Amino acid sequence: MQPTTLTRRRMMFLGATSGLGLATLGRWPAHAAAPWPTHRGDEQSERFIGEMLHVGDPLADAVVAELVLLGSGGKKLLQSGIAQGLKSLADPPPALAAFLRANETIPPWVTPSTYTGGSRTFMSIPLPAHALTLALGALTHTYSSPAIAAVLIGTGELIKSTQRRLLETTDWLLRCMQPGALRVGGSGYVATLQVRMLHAQARARTLANGWDVAAFGTPISQVDLVRTWLDFLPVSYGCLSRLGYDLTSAEISDLYRTWWYIAHLLGIDPRLYRRITDHTTARQLLTVVDATNQPPDANSRALVTESVRATSGLFSLATVLPPISTETINATFRHINGDPIADLYAIRRTPAQALIPPTALATRNARTLARAIPLTWNTQIKFHESLTETFLNLLPTSAYASGGYAHK
């Protein structure tokens, strides 16, 4: 029997990337015998990835279960613990204490540059470029997974929830990328733990509503989490590169070390991300992870369509972002994703597409010149930091910043 396309992709990955060690990483014994989800690829996929399809976030999931027993007082304990630390709680319940202790314990591989290196790389690129590639690139790939799309569709009204999700994701990303914001108690740290609890709450609700585990595995599984994490790295920065925003190898290294820590705070198993050090190894992992998904379905197409529509709303929200036309949005989508994907989502062709390649070339050349002059480069970074802070202050009060759940 001829191998399927997905099987061939996995075989290519395993043959080319044995150095990643995915095939020999330790197993999760409690899930070793779990059957392969019928709608997440086939059993010839890399075994470790298969097991991760059945794992959620044990620490955060235990907190959600505990909050149900504690009632309204439990939520106040959670918010206080996340914002002010475990020491602020006189008598914390056991699951919450374990959750906070794990997050407040700094991994040994974290260095001072972990909190600043990735931020500096991020801030070398202007805010409008990040906003465009997040909405049109990273989230397009996130929504292309039917398993993820099915969970998101169930969170509320499609249009309102998609607009809110774009806004909140932008808010979270920018808070994480502020210098030093990922330190314990910082705005990025608090926002990321809020996102993690959002995932756990959505996972519990989805399971309670009759989620088909046999077809899709655990909702918002470790595979889904690391896939979304990768959307902010090789997917986003691949799109940015197509717009002329290239990075040096040192900048990429700094970026990934910062995102290791974000993965840690999001509850992603370190065996999934600690060997990922650059875009090359990240794309190799993404190939295997993508092989666990079916092609985009109606839910995926609906989410992408609404995300594209919401992009203009994001740009009109604050004066620090320039107005953007539908033609520019469509042209950018086609340029960063390619015509086959754009056709899949019925993104219209536009004459504005012809303007993007020369603009990208000019951007690339300008960055090369600016990087060669440290004063110019540092001035640009400081300006982008200031613009980001202004933008965050103009956004509606964030559920993450204010300590409340999103997607109630």
Domain ranges of the chain: 113-401
Q: Which pLDDT belongs to residue 153?
A: 81
Q: Which pLDDT belongs to residue 318?
A: 66
Assessment of whether the complete model's pTM goes beyond 0.75: yes
Q: Which residues contact 206 (CB under 8 A, 6 or more apart)?
A: 151, 154, 219, 220
Q: Which pLDDT belongs to residue 40?
A: 56
Backbone torsions φ then ψ of 209, nearest 5 degrees? -90, 10
Contact between residue 39 and residue 147 where contact means Cβ atoms under 8 Å apart: yes
Contact between residue 277 and residue 263 where contact means Cβ atoms under 8 Å apart: no
CA–CA separation, 327 and 202 (whole Å): 35
Q: Which residues contact 357 (CB under 8 A, 6 or more apart)?
A: 335
Q: Which residues contact 130 (CB under 8 A, 6 or more apart)?
A: 122, 173, 174, 236, 240
Q: Which residues contact 114 (CB under 8 A, 6 or more apart)?
A: 182, 257, 258, 260, 261
By CB atoms closer than 10 A (0-12, 13-18, 19+), residue 275 is middle
Q: Which pLDDT belongs to residue 16?
A: 36
CA–CA separation, 184 and 82 (whole Å): 9
Contact between residue 132 and residue 235 where contact means Cβ atoms under 8 Å apart: no
Which pLDDT tens digits describe the chain residue by residue (408 residues)? Answer: 333 333 333 333 333 334 444 443 333 333 344 565 556 554 444 678 889 999 999 999 999 999 999 988 899 999 999 999 999 999 999 999 999 999 999 999 999 999 999 999 999 999 999 999 999 999 999 999 998 888 888 766 556 678 888 889 999 999 999 999 999 999 999 999 999 999 999 999 999 999 999 888 999 999 999 999 999 999 999 999 999 999 999 999 999 999 999 999 999 999 999 999 999 999 999 999 998 888 999 999 999 999 999 998 888 876 778 889 999 999 999 999 999 999 999 999 999 999 999 999 999 999 999 999 999 999 999 999 999 999 998 887 554 544 443 333
Q: Which pLDDT belongs to residue 34?
A: 54
CA–CA separation, 99 and 66 (whole Å): 11
Residue with tokens 């092609």: 295
